[in-house]
């Protein structure tokens, strides 16, 4: 028993080292969404363009779309914004959720950097973002025509993310319902949509 007490600090050190090693091997962008394959939460929020107008879930386009969480205070959002403009010019519908921001700042941002959004709701208290399980901005959700979240991306959407992760699913969703092709998708693509 006395010898075991001598090795106790070593055993604790080894156990902690294994835990730290495991933690370092995890991808911090791999944050599973509890809402994957569930409907976009209900919301009624003011339109950034006209705060007298309130928009709700029923106002989402009845087609596959990107739901993009952004803010004027978000540096990564500034990096992402030109690519969102490019996607919008290609006909990809994008709905914005302006997270905990000032409406005047958001309107000025959209005027200065161009507006890629079908509409943008002002989530000034962050309730919709919380309901979506958002960790920060930017985050982007791929939503099917029925309003169900099919993929989540944490971070900047750029050419590589669009081409390898979101575009293949978006194009399939434009042609057929999720249930008709989800079983055919490679695990690598589905794993990236947490």
Asked whether the predicted pLDDT for residue 127 surpasses 60, the reply is yes
Which CATH architecture describes the domain 32-191?
3-Layer(aba) Sandwich (3.40)
Asked whether the predicted pLDDT for residue 106 surpasses 50, the reply is yes
pLDDT for position 11: 64
Interatomic CA distance for residues 134 and 2, integer angstroms: 51
Mean pLDDT of 88-101: 97
User: Does pTM surpass 0.85?
Assistant: no
Contact status, residue 116 vs residue 51, Cβ threshold 8 Å:
no
Mean pLDDT of 168-190: 87
pLDDT for position 28: 46
* 5-58 pLDDT tens trace: 666 666 666 655 555 555 555 444 444 456 789 999 999 999 999 999 999 999
pLDDT for position 125: 96
pLDDT for position 21: 58
Return mean pLDDT, the chain: 88
pLDDT for position 4: 59
pLDDT for position 30: 46
How large is the C-alpha radius of gyration of the chain?
A: 21
* 47-93 pLDDT tens trace: 999 999 999 999 999 999 999 999 999 999 999 999 999 999 999 99
Asked whether the predicted pLDDT for residue 150 surpasses 80, the reply is yes
pLDDT for position 186: 81
- Using left for φ > 0, alpha for ψ between -120 and 50, and beta otherwise, residue 11 falls in alpha
pLDDT for position 34: 63
What are the sequence ranges of the domains in the chain? 32-191
- Predicted confidence band of residue 140 (pLDDT cuts 50, 70, 90): very high
Interatomic CA distance for residues 115 and 126, integer angstroms: 21
Mean pLDDT of 138-161: 96
pLDDT for position 29: 44
User: DSSP states of 126-165 as a string?
Assistant: -HHHHHHT--SSSEEEEE-TTSBEEEEEES---HHHIIII
């Amino acid at each position: 028993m006395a010898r075991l007490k001598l090795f106790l600090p070593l055993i604790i050190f080894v156990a902690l080292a294994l835990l730290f090693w495991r933690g370092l091997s995890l991808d911090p962008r791999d944050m599973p969404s509890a809402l994957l394959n569930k409907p976009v939460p209900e919301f009624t929020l003011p339109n950034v363009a006209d705060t007298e107008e309130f928009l709700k879930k029923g106002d989402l386009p009845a087609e596959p779309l990107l739901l993009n969480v952004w803010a004027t205070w978000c540096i990564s959002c500034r990096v992402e914004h030109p690519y969102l403009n490019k996607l919008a010019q290609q006909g990809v519908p994008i709905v914005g959720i302006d997270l905990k921001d000032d409406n005047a700042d958001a309107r000025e941002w959209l005027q200065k950097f161009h507006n890629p959004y079908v509409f943008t709701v002002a989530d000034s208290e962050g309730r919709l973002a919380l309901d979506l399980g958002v960790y920060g901005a930017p985050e982007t959700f791929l939503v099917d025509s029925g309003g169900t979240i099919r993929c989540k991306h944490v971070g900047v959407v750029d050419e590589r993310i669009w081409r390898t992760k979101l575009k293949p699913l978006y194009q399939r969703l434009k042609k057929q319902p999720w249930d008709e092709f989800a079983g055919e998708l490679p695990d690598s693509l589905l794993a990236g949509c947490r």
